[in-house]
């Protein structure tokens, strides 16, 4: 019951937070311009890259917090680990921000392709965003403690408040002051300070309560530190490589494309990120739960949970990706109110939707390795993936721009699913082929159904002249694809049969 509640609340939070950014983006474009939006996109990109400083510390702390909470780790050992990680994280964050501040002029002059924004204004914005990112990154260690204690509902609610401030409240702030990119980033710094302060107080409170209620006596655990350091190093290296996997295309294109064109590319990435809105909450909930099941040696239940959550994610991401794939131009036109934007974005959006769908499924191999405490395979897998992707992505971005990056992104993630993901599941799961087939039949069956549905409604297009009918058509299309995907899950079919019998 707790897993379902945490997952439901986390999904609600993630969808709300992601959709806010998507909904307000046309307003940012209208009031700030394409080049200023490119700078906002660069800000989002830097936040992802800044997590390289994490080096696996937050993931290690989450896992050990779960063990501490469940009584598998002594209080004194946990407190020593927490203090060490906190000091390392603080030093790394300060160092990272300092280096970026010193490089702000070089980034503005040499990396970003600025056309109309004043250079001094861009440099000021860069300096503000570096400090904001540092505060948010340091807050990640506090989030790790709260996540390890499975305070998912609190974190999700707090995220909703923060993103309302970050994306919505900034609009009236700029209305009453000035519609400028500098005002935007100054406001983001205030929100980052608020986020940091609240997380600091919240995690300190829960640690204090745990210390007051624990009755454990300090006991040395032989071999604990070497084991946890090894886990942290592999987890950290894997996290670094994961940033390269998920963000290297954006970083390369931010230095190749003019800032305004990079803004348009980022629009496609933003819309495709709806897949992350569906898949990211799973990692926040399933990592501590699978870890707890493994610690309790409930292996059969662990396998069952792993398979069921994978089916759930596949239904959601598959439905979204397929609906967007067949209706990309319509969605972009309705969302932005700009018919010309679809010609820049639609094809890139389709490719990234497919790639992100398989990326979400490939991420499950990390969940199972994390639960078993054996993330070394994840490290070597990501290293191999990055060594393949970086040269291909660089060549494609240089010669074909965003569309070339999209083809590389999609192809590699599909290939990875049918090679690495299958191999990892064979190493850790009792019935790996069952997991693979349960996912593939949902994707293949839904896509085949959507193709017939798309061909069947082509003749309706001349009658879908207004926005209301087009939105209705999209809702019906997505709803039917979702229903089809659900029918490939045995539990759903059983429940439907029971309901039908009760009505007879």
Query: Does residue 183 lie within any of the structural domains?
Result: yes
The Cα 23–Cα 335 span in angstroms is 8
Query: Does residue 78 lie within any of the structural domains?
Result: yes
Secondary structure, 3-state, 87-144: HHHHHHHHHHHHHHHHCHHHHHHHHCCCCCCCHHHHHHHHHHHHHHHHHHHHHHHHHH
Q: Are residues 122 and 251 in the same domain?
A: no
Which of the four pLDDT bands, split at 50, 70 and 90, describes residue 203?
confident
| Contact in structure between 328 and 387 (CB atoms under 8 Å) | no
Residue 219 confidence (pLDDT) above 60: no
**Percent of the chain whose pLDDT exceeds 70:** 85
Using the 3D structure, point to which of 193, 212, 231 is the last residue of a domain. Answer: 212
Q: In this predicted model, what pLDDT tens digit does every residue of 7-51 receive, in sequence order?
A: 677 667 777 877 787 778 778 877 887 778 778 888 877 776 666
Q: Are residues 183 and 307 in the same domain?
A: no
The Cα 40–Cα 181 span in angstroms is 8
Q: Are residues 25 and 166 in the same domain?
A: yes
Query: Does residue 235 lie within any of the structural domains?
Result: no
Q: Are residues 206 and 286 in the same domain?
A: no
Using the 3D structure, point to which of 212, 235, 264 is the last residue of a domain. Answer: 212
Q: Are residues 126 and 265 in the same domain?
A: no
Q: Are residues 115 and 3 in the same domain?
A: yes
How many independent structural domains does the chain possess? 2
Secondary structure, 3-state, 416-461: HHHHHHHHHHHHHCCCHHHHHHHHHHHHHHHHHHHHHHHHHCHHHH
Tell me the Cα Rg of the chain.
Answer: 23
Residue 220 confidence (pLDDT) above 60: no
Q: Which domain holds residue 60?
A: 1-212
Q: Are residues 172 and 267 in the same domain?
A: no
Q: Are residues 82 and 165 in the same domain?
A: yes
Q: Are residues 190 and 259 in the same domain?
A: no
Going from the C-alpha of 37 to that of each of 24, 30, 68, 117, 361, the distances in angstroms are 11, 10, 44, 11, 30
Enter the pTM of the model.
0.68
Please state the rounded mean pLDDT for residues 100-116: 80
Query: Does residue 221 lie within any of the structural domains?
Result: no
Q: Are residues 273 and 176 in the same domain?
A: no
Query: Does residue 222 lie within any of the structural domains?
Result: no
Q: Are residues 208 and 251 in the same domain?
A: no
| Contact in structure between 184 and 40 (CB atoms under 8 Å) | yes
Pair of tokens at residue 35: 């080049």
Give the pLDDT score at 67: 76
**Percent of the chain whose pLDDT exceeds 90:** 18
The Cα 382–Cα 244 span in angstroms is 9
| Contact in structure between 125 and 108 (CB atoms under 8 Å) | no
Which of the four pLDDT bands, split at 50, 70 and 90, describes residue 230?
low
Using the 3D structure, point to which of 185, 212, 239 is the last residue of a domain. Answer: 212
Number of H helices and E strands in the chain, helices first, is: 20, 0
Question: Which DSSP helix (H) or strand (E) runs through 43?
Answer: helix 34-50
Specify the higher pLDDT residue, 428 or 77: 428
Q: Are residues 287 and 207 in the same domain?
A: no
Which of the four pLDDT bands, split at 50, 70 and 90, describes residue 165?
very high
Query: Does residue 224 lie within any of the structural domains?
Result: no
Say which DSSP state 218 is in. Answer: P
Query: Does residue 492 lie within any of the structural domains?
Result: yes
| Contact in structure between 307 and 441 (CB atoms under 8 Å) | no
Query: Does residue 405 lie within any of the structural domains?
Result: yes
Give the pLDDT score at 218: 46
Give the pLDDT score at 467: 75
Give the pLDDT score at 504: 55
Q: In this predicted model, what pLDDT tens digit does every residue of 377-402 receive, in sequence order?
A: 887 888 888 888 888 988 888 888 88
């Amino acid at each position: 019951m707790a897993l379902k509640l945490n997952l439901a609340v986390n999904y609600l939070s993630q969808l709300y937070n992601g959709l806010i950014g998507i909904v307000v983006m046309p307003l940012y474009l209208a009031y700030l311009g394409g080049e200023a939006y490119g700078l906002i996109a660069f800000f989002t990109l830097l936040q992802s890259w800044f997590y390289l400083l994490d080096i696996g510390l937050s993931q290690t702390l989450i896992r050990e917090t779960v063990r501490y909470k469940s009584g598998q780790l002594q209080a004194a050992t946990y407190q020593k680990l927490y203090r060490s990680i906190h000091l390392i994280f603080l030093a790394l964050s300060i160092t990272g921000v300092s280096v970026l501040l010193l490089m702000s002029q070089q980034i503005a002059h040499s990396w970003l392709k600025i056309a109309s924004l004043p250079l001094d204004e861009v440099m000021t914005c860069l300096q503000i965003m570096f400090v904001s990112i540092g505060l948010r990154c340091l807050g990640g260690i506090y989030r790790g403690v709260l996540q390890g204690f499975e305070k998912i509902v609190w974190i999700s609610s707090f995220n909703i408040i923060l993103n309302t401030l970050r994306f919505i409240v900034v609009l009236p702030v700029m209305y009453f002051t000035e519609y400028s990119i500098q005002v935007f980033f100054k406001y983001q710094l205030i929100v980052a300070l608020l986020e940091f302060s609240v997380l600091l107080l919240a995690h300190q409170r829960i640690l204090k309560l745990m210390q007051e209620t624990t009755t454990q006596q300090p006991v040395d655990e032989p071999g604990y530190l070497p084991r946890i350091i090894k886990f942290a190093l592999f987890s950290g290296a894997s996290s670094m490589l994961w940033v390269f996997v998920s963000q290297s295309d954006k970083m390369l294109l931010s230095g190749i494309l003019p800032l305004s064109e990079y803004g348009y590319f980022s629009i496609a990435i933003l819309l495709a990120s709806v897949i992350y809105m569906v898949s990211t909450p799973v990692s926040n909930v399933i990592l501590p739960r699978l870890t707890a099941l493994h610690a309790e040696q409930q292996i059969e239940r662990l396998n069952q949970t792993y398979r069921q959550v994978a089916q759930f994610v596949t239904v959601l991401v598959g439905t979204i990706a397929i609906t967007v794939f067949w209706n990309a131009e319509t969605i972009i036109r309705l969302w932005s109110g700009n018919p010309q934007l679809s010609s820049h974005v639609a094809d890139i959006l389709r490719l990234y939707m497919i790639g992100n769908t398989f990326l979400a499924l490939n991420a499950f191999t990390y969940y199972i390795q994390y639960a078993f405490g054996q993330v070394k395979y994840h490290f070597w897998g990501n290293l191999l993936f990055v060594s393949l992707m970086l040269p291909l992505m660089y060549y494609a971005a240089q010669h074909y721009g965003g569309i070339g990056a999209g083809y590389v992104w999609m192809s590699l993630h599909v290939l990875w699913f049918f090679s690495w993901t299958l191999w990892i599941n064979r190493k850790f799961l009792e019935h790996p082929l069952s997991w693979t087939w349960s996912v593939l039949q949902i994707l293949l069956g839904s896509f085949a159904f959507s193709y017939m549905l798309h061909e069947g409604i082509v003749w309706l297009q001349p009658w879908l002249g207004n926005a209301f009918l087009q939105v209705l058509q999209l809702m019906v299309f997505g709803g039917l694809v979702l229903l089809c995907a659900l029918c490939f899950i045995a539990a759903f079919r059983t429940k439907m049969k029971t309901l039908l019998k009760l009505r007879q």
